[in-house]
Amino acid sequence: MLLVVVALFLAVELPAYVGLDPAASRVPARPDLPLHYPLLVAHILFGSVALVTACLQIWPWLRRAHPVVHRRSGRIYLFGGVFPGGLAVLGVAPFSSTGPVSAVGNTALAVLWLATAVAGFRAARAHRYGDHRRWMLRSVALTFSIVVNRVWLVAYFLLFSPSLGDDPTALVLAAAGAAVWTSWVVNLLVVEWWVLRPPRRRHHRTV
């Protein structure tokens, strides 16, 4: 199910960027920042690797039945996805085309994306698998914030249209800024609740 959502997301988002044609980009060009477009495309391509491998990493059956595949795709998630994608986006996020609220929200997301992945990787190397699981769930929640971002964006457009409909620029800045923050904060809160909830009690029947 999650793989289908990711496939649909990538089918909509990637065509504008795989041709490496700056004119096709939906994010406005920054001629003053020559590295902006290459870093934008790099983060999208590495981000796509992160999204696909994240689906494999949180699939319980694969983890249990094929631990070697879990380990290999985990390395691809980190070294072919989150680490290069997170570093690339640090050169893009502070210059967001949708204003300072988005810029701060995306930069915070990029830093947390890298930090949670580093913490998860270190925990696995130290064989602290409980910590590893919790950090990687946080990392995956942040990876998926890009997908839910599109849903929040539509919701905020609808919510803000009555008050800001006469000023399209203000509407875009408000909706995009709110969507950036809501998408990763809510994802992180949901996962935090999930990893911190008390373990379910098992009912043992006494015979």
Give the residue carrying structure tokens 């930069």.
107
Asked if 93 interacts with ligand HEM (CB under 6 A), we say yes
Q: Alpha-carbon Rg of the chain, whole angstroms?
A: 19
Subset of residues 162 to 201 that bind ligand HEM, contact rule: CB under 6 A: none
Contact between 77 and ligand HEM (CB under 6 A)? Answer: no
Name the minimum Å distance from CB 19 to ligand HEM.
13
CA-based nearest residue to 195, from 141, 121, 128, 146: 141
Minimum distance from residue 144 beta carbon to ligand HEM (Å): 8
Q: How far is the CB of 140 from ligand HEM (least distance, A)?
A: 10
What is the rounded distance in angstroms from the CA atom of residue 87 to the CA atom of residue 39?
9
Residue-wise DSSP of 171-204: HHHHHHHHHHHHHHHHHHHHHHHHHHSPPPPP-P
CA 150 from chain centre, in angstroms, equals: 12
Q: How far is the CB of 5 from ligand HEM (least distance, A)?
A: 12
For the segment 46-75, give every residue that binds ligand HEM (CB under 6 A). Answer: 47-48, 50-51
Interface with ligand HEM (CB under 6 A): 13, 16, 26-27, 43-44, 47-48, 50-51, 89, 92-93, 96-98, 106, 109-110, 113, 142-143, 145-146
